[in-house]
Amino acid sequence: MLDPSTTPAQRTPRVTIDALPTEVKTRIVEFCHEQDERMRRWIERLSDFDLNWPQYKPIRQKTVREHPSTVGVLFGMSKTWSAIAAPFRFKTLSASKMESSIFSHFVGPRRSQHFNKLRLDPCQNYPVITALLPSLNLSNITDLTIDGAWYTASIGAYGDYDPWSFVVRQSNYAALPVAALLRQINTLRLVHVRPVEFCRMMPHVPRLTTLHITTSRADGLQPRLGGMLVELPHLHDLHLTCESSARTEREPFNFQLVIRDTQQHTLLPQLRRFSYSGEVSATSVVFAALFSKTLEELTIDAVHDDGENEGPSLGDDCFAALTHLKLAGSWLSSWPILESLSPGRTPKLRSLTYEAHECVGGIEEEHRGILNMVNHFCKTARLAPHEFAFHLHLRNDIWSAADRDFAAAYSAKHKNLPICLSCDEHLPSFGWSDPCEPPLEQLDSAPLAREIREDVQRTLRFVEDLGRQLEASGTPADWSRAAELLRAAEFERSAMAM
């Protein structure tokens, strides 16, 4: 029988967050991880704005200070929360991080089984790292990055000896963990690793499906690329970045040797995704055409040199499976591909992205030409608006209200051609609040009126929610932060009250 002297509040059992079921705690950690990832991407993108929008740099820096990792906070609450949050907190491991005493004594022995990405990058003490690797539980590593500097210092010392073999002398035991990792990974990233060393790895990567290569002419990859690909029958994704090894070197990657060796063509893997980044290469699209029957995504990020020819076109090849095409870099390297688009060459193309790295000032004349090419392709292919997506991005996606107005008007004029100016909804909308832009005239009749109103109303709703939170449980620090956020609005209020 309940004690009549107790109040209802006293009779209610007290439940704390630690009493929640493990499944609920896991979901909480998952949501916190998603929030941390959104914040990380937001800060990463916003940091790119510093050059053109220096007034927002203090905001970004303050945001970084005030928003620590929520998964990290949960990890430090208790042993139970620590065990649940560990797989989300420990994802990527690098050789440079392994040098710390905290890692070697605490993190490594207790948490190494949670890492799924490993970066063997340059570090200070290579012998310590190679000796530490055998003691770690790296059974969940599926993504491995090998830097050429690390390889030369740690593995290259063996000379002609093959460190990837399991039949090794006792003195070479440090190479065993790397050999085991190669057998279990599905993603390999090589940064300036010599092709001869990569060829040694080939027999030991049976599960490899994704390969990222960062190279330069000095690495000597061009004549060996075809032979390397033949050894990777399960490869689906190939991403090649060609960097200049010196300021005077501005030559593109040449795929000609792979293209000429027609005997290898039937032995090449069936790539689904291919990307090339570097100087304009006239043979990059021809190389991609070797996989025209299976290639679903093609990315060409080419920087055009004034002394070079224009970029390549699609030619007469039919990319039967291509659904997404992304062009980035410069206008001169991209327009030949855009001009050669046709339903006959790309019958399944449903998404096109053009990212202008050279342009930071909004829509220019070249963008109008791109819109005309895309509109012509959609008309020729008879694609409905919901069947095709066109993404027009700047380096930082900083569009003014006039740019959005033009895009909206162009879309309305051409049967609602879908034009996406930014895919990141978490970035702030600067178009309607840019002090450098004059106010829009005749807002009611502007095609962008609805979008601007929605942006402003969204910000006003945030202010209303902030006010309710402050009234409910705001601390002096919260009120101070709100005052700082609303400073500009207070200036306007005082001016209107005069």
Asked if residues 252 and 225 have their Cβ atoms less than 8 Å apart, the reply is no
> Could you report the per-residue pLDDT of 309-340, keeping only the tens digit for each?
567 888 888 999 999 999 987 777 888 888 88
What percentage of the chain reaches a pLDDT higher than 90? 19
Q: What is the pLDDT of residue 186?
A: 94
Max mean pLDDT among 18-22, 44-48, 109-113, 439-443 falls in: 109-113
What percentage of the chain reaches a pLDDT higher than 70? 76
- Binning pLDDT at 50, 70 and 90, where does residue 302 land? confident
**pLDDT at residue 391 greater than cutoff 80:** yes
Average pLDDT score over residue span 299-317: 74
**pLDDT at residue 135 greater than cutoff 90:** no
Output DSSP code: residue 125.
Answer: -
> Could you report the per-residue pLDDT of 444-469, keeping only the tens digit for each?
545 455 656 766 777 788 888 888 88
**Domain 92-426 CATH (choose: 1.10.10, 2.60.40, 3.80.10, 1.10.3470):** 3.80.10
Q: What is the pLDDT of residue 367?
A: 80
Neighbours of 119 (CB within 10 A): 18
The residue with greater pLDDT, 224 or 5, is 224
Asked if residues 287 and 261 have their Cβ atoms less than 8 Å apart, the reply is no
Average pLDDT score over residue span 256-281: 86
**pLDDT at residue 106 greater than cutoff 50:** yes
Average pLDDT score over residue span 386-395: 81
Tokens coding 54: 């220096």
Average pLDDT score over residue span 73-77: 88
Average pLDDT score over residue span 382-388: 83
**pLDDT at residue 495 greater than cutoff 90:** no
Average pLDDT score over residue span 120-136: 83
Q: DSSP letters of 361-405?
A: SS--HHHHHHHHHHHHHHHHHT--GGG-EEEEEESS----HHHHH
Q: What is the pLDDT of residue 194?
A: 85
Beta strands in 32-71 (DSSP E): none
Angle at 425 between CA 420 and CA 428, to 5 degrees: 110
Q: Please name which of 289, 257, 253, 263 lies closest in space to residue 274, comparing C-alpha atoms.
A: 289
Q: What is the pLDDT of residue 211?
A: 96
Tokens coding 52: 């053109």
Parse the chain into domains and list their residue ranges.
16-89, 92-426, 460-488
Side-chain-side CA neighbours of residue 313 (13 Å): 10
Neighbours of 211 (CB within 10 A): 22
Average model confidence (pLDDT) for the chain? 78
CA–CA gap between residue 449 and residue 24 (Å, rounded) = 43
Max mean pLDDT among 15-24, 231-240, 429-438 falls in: 231-240
Asked if residues 211 and 238 have their Cβ atoms less than 8 Å apart, the reply is yes
Q: Which of 35-44, 179-188, 394-403 is the least confident region?
A: 394-403
Average pLDDT score over residue span 225-240: 91
